[in-house]
Amino acid sequence: MDRSVININVGLLGHIDCGKTSLARTLSSKLSTACFDKHPQSQERGITLDLGFSAFLISPPDHLVTIYPSLEQLQVTLVDCPGHASLIKTIISGSQIIDLMLLVIDVTKGLQTQTGECLIIGEITCQQIIVILNKVDLIPEANRPQAILKMSRRIKKTLEKTKFSSAPIIPISATKGIDKENHHNWGIDELIKTIRGEIRSIERDPKGPFMFAIDHCFSIKGQGTIMTGTVIQGSVKVNETIEIASLKTQKKVKSIQMFKESIDEAIQGDRIGICVTQFDSKSLERGIASSPGYLESCYMLIVNIERIAYFKGTIESKSKFHITIFHETILARIELFSSTNKSPENEKSFNLNCEYLSLNKLDDETNYSHDDDEPNSPIENKSIYGLIYLERPVIASIGSLVIASKLDTSINMNTCRLAFHGKVLHKVTDKDFADSWLPSLKIYKIKSKKGTIERIPNEYEAIANIFKKETNLNIFQGFKVTLSTGEIGYIDGSFGLKGKVKIRIPEGIKDKSLISKIGKKGKNNTDNQIIVTITFKRYIHDKEKKVVQL
């Protein structure tokens, strides 16, 4: 890739009123149409309500110049995320387009509720973070070094349990910025130096289908409609055709700008505005644009599930979660299932030809339950999956990040609302999936039925009461059963009209005295009772409700 400027997206995340927008103002030299709380309600309420974008340029680190010899400058695009708890879905969507995270903390208040949720989001979406201790100017100068040291130690202790244990911690004052008059930098130069040092490998591949996450859409009189966002993959050029799959419409790219500078081509990672004509901006607030024909509306998704350890709730089948994919958040019902011993260990992909075990719930990182009557079983190395029933269609691609949360949890409960995350492994684009696709999904439940032996006509035969009279006994013909006395038997057929079955015992009853004790007339009391058990699996999406011997 021959390019003199490469864009990197840096997210500013943290609790409300920690100074994220002030820091963006201090750092930025390039402004977008959506920056510094331009939304009227943001100005009225004095808080960030939507994603804000601005940028500045730095010289690239040597290791990137080695990879990209033509590289002269790095454009650092700042993604200013809201901090209010009620805007968590906007924070999640913003985090999915960043390469590096700045976790901003008010040094006078320390770690707060949204600080924790932002840290969790960072673990899911980023490889590197920088911790910012902001507002150090509010601490008296005599107490400042000790206060910064104390807070830094607390943060390091928190980070020990994350993948960011070695993250740098930089004390700054965003509002003071660079005080040239008093020759005081307030940590800004050190922060820029640290950002430069933390930028490691950047994946920027212009090849492959184009995909563009749109976060704002507006019209400019005499020019057309502007869609601003981040290029997720591939590239786009002026005069090429792009598609908004959710609206089933295609438009030609009239022009492309990057922070108000016209460019002919944008590649993966670029923050751009695309101008199209004859398109109503009111029809699209956020969404995905792509190469024509690349994306379709999805009605159901299969994702691998990675439980978030800080989530204290139970993740249960049939429960509902808010699912965030790119800039969209959709309410969805989940169905849990796992790989089996027949599936490859540590399986990270989904295979429609494999069989999977249905799960009732996932209690923590190490245990699950697949039967309401049984205690939790260890997950071991089994992969956990989720079948996601979306309440409305969504645009997604294979590999898209999914973050699930409980947004109906009160923001005053001081608890983690983020439940699990994963990647899209399979997508279903057929609207009639319940009839066309779902029956082919081999997810089964382990079922067990118990009954009693009522008669033993001879040592090789028994009559058992296991099923209800309305049960179709033909489907259990030949199934193996286990007697509580240790014998193995096989169902030979029905006996009478009340759900009883004949059981063949090839090896015969071991304790011959039971024949006389239970007898031919069923004189079976509690002392002599023989329990018979049949275990099988039922495919939960099979229309014929087939059962298979386990």
User: Do 340 and 246 share a structural domain?
Assistant: no
CA distances from 216 to 30, 42, 260, 283 (A): 18, 16, 15, 12
233: tokens are 């993959």
Whether 204 is covered by a domain: the verdict is no
pLDDT reading at 344 higher than 60: no
- Split at pLDDT 50, 70, 90, the class of 213 is very high
User: Do 484 and 362 share a structural domain?
Assistant: no
Res 203: pLDDT? 80
- The DSSP code sequence of 385-454 is EEEEEEEEEEE--TT-EEEEE-TTS-TTS----EEEEEEEEEEE--TTHHHHTGGG--EEEEEEEEEEEE
Write down the pTM of the prediction: 0.85
CATH of the domain at 389: 2.40.30.10
Res 512: pLDDT? 82
Q: Give the lowest-confidence range in 44-48, 140-144, 270-274, 441-445.
A: 44-48
pLDDT reading at 45 higher than 50: no
User: Do 301 and 286 share a structural domain?
Assistant: no
User: Do 156 and 136 share a structural domain?
Assistant: yes
- How big, in percent rounded to 5, are the helix, strand and coil portions of the chain? 20, 40, 45
CATH of the domain at 504: 2.40.10.190
pLDDT digits (tens, 9 = 90+) for 471-523: 888 889 999 999 999 999 999 999 987 889 999 999 998 888 777 777 655 55
Res 364: pLDDT? 61
User: Do 535 and 475 share a structural domain?
Assistant: yes
Res 377: pLDDT? 55
Q: Give the lowest-confidence range in 132-146, 166-180, 320-334, 369-383.
A: 369-383
Please count the structural domains in the chain. 4
The Cα 420–Cα 332 span in angstroms is 13
Res 346: pLDDT? 47
Structural domain span for residue 152: 5-198
pLDDT digits (tens, 9 = 90+) for 91-120: 887 788 899 999 999 999 999 888 998 999
Which uninterrupted H or E stretch holds 24?
A: helix 20-27
Query: Over the chain, what is the mean pLDDT?
Result: 87
User: Do 194 and 91 share a structural domain?
Assistant: yes
User: Do 539 and 476 share a structural domain?
Assistant: yes
